[in-house]
Amino acid sequence: MLLEIFQALAEQIADNITMPEGQELHVEPVPFPIAESPNINMLITDPTGFEDGLAGFADLYGGVPVAITFRVPSVDLMTAIEMALAFMDADGDMSILAAIDADRTLGGVVDSIGWGDGFPWTGFQDFPSVNDDGILLGSRLNILVVPKAST
């Protein structure tokens, strides 16, 4: 069930983000050790930071806390910041939030997806580059996925 949720989330993000010409986005449902950037992946995270009532639910019972992480190349810092801000924006062709908001049921795979009030991103973070030739600029979005109730 969890892998199906992660795959649906990755597919929806990939299908709803349009990159600038000449840029290819790599979206994976799980963390991956070697990838070209820019890239987006997801993993289960610590549920702290979610408050009662998120997405209209009284508590977190049954919810899966998921962290969506993006990383962009930082060779040209201004370009990296512009791309990162586009991913973090609430709307626009590269908005991860808008990509998720396109269908908060992920095509019927889950009941709902939500995130806390206020700015949902962790802010800029440095990520080590796999080939050890610098850092990648990125951020993490913590969401709560409420799986479909089994019947």
Instruction: Give Cα 21 to chain centroid, integer Å.
Output: 22
Residue 44 structural domain: 2-147
Q: Spell out the residues 6+ positions from residue 57 whose beta carbon is closer than 8 angstroms to its own.
A: 63, 112, 114, 146
- In DSSP notation, 57-82 reads -SS-TT-EEEEEEEEEE-SSHHHHHH
| Domains: count for the chain | 1
Given a cut of 70, the residues of the chain with pLDDT beneath it are 33-35, 48-62, 130-133, 150-151
Q: What is the pLDDT of residues 1-42, one digit of tens each?
A: 889 999 999 999 999 999 999 999 999 998 876 667 899 999
* CATH code of the domain containing 22: 3.30.70
